[in-house]
Amino acid sequence: MRNRRRQLVAARRASDLVGVRRFGLTVSGTVIDFGSPPLPGQWDVVMANSNTVITSMGGLASVVGFIGGQDAEIFARHAAGGEGSTLTVTLSVDGQPCSVIWTRWSSRFAAIASLGEVHTDGVPGNGTLTLNTPGQPAGSTVIGYGALHGVLSANQAVPVWGGGLSAVDPVAAASGAGASGCVGFAGYLSGAGAPSLPVAITSWTGDTASDRYTLAVALT
């Protein structure tokens, strides 16, 4: 009976991630399409980074972000019903690379909260800085975002996550290359409890990135 209960809990956590789409764009006003609207109660969590400022992600609220050598943000909305399947991405400067990862999550969550960000600019490397989260309620799902900028040939792949996170999608969301190119990876851990987590991409294959940010949120 105990093993059956554990299997049910594991299945529920595995189903927390409803789907993921990734996009690369350079034109302000680009419309991205998830393919279906969210059901009432579901969460859309959108991670994006750009060589310029992301002024709007279809009206979604920014939960955490930092603007330095790049703009990296995590946006979110809690569906009430009637939302569409598309978002319009608005950039402050047209023609600049922007990488977007759009994830959709279970309706079992009631809230989303920032777990912070850490960043380094102008220091090439093959991993992101470690974000030690402040802790989160039991049963939370932690979502980590590794935002890379200045990516040379934009061939980064196979991210290895720390903190017990798994890749949402091992394929990068990429836009552009060289000094202005942007790449993004997302990871998650379902059922995270109160202790702090060391969230980071510890390594990836391919070229280094000059600007490397780690951001995280918790669905609770």
Strands (E), 68-197: 71-78, 86-91, 98-105, 112-120, 131-132, 140-149, 157-161, 166-167, 173-175, 182-192
Q: Which tokens sit at 151?
A: 């990516």
Report the run of H or E that residue 67 belongs to, with start and end.
strand 61-67
pLDDT digits (tens, 9 = 90+) for 29-86: 999 999 999 999 999 999 999 999 999 999 999 999 999 999 999 999 999 999 999 9
pTM (predicted TM-score): 0.93
Identify whether the C-beta of residue 145 lies closer than 8 Å to the C-beta of residue 216. yes
Output DSSP code: residue 164.
T
Q: What is the DSSP string of 176-213?
A: --GGG-EEEEEEEEEEE-SS--EE-EEEEES--BSEEE
> Amino acid identity of 71?
D
Out of 8-17, 132-141, 209-218, give the one with best mean pLDDT. 209-218
Query: Checking phi first, is residue 170 left (phi over 0); if not, alpha (psi -120 to 50) or beta?
Result: alpha
Cα(185)–Cα(189) distance, integer angstroms: 14
As a whole number, mean pLDDT of residues 120-135 equals 96
Q: Give me the pLDDT at residue 170, please.
A: 86
**Bridge partners of residue 124, in order along the sequence:** none
As a whole number, mean pLDDT of residues 133-154 equals 94
pLDDT digits (tens, 9 = 90+) for 76-117: 999 999 999 999 999 999 999 999 999 999 999 999 999 999
Task: Decide if pLDDT at 1 tops 80.
Answer: no
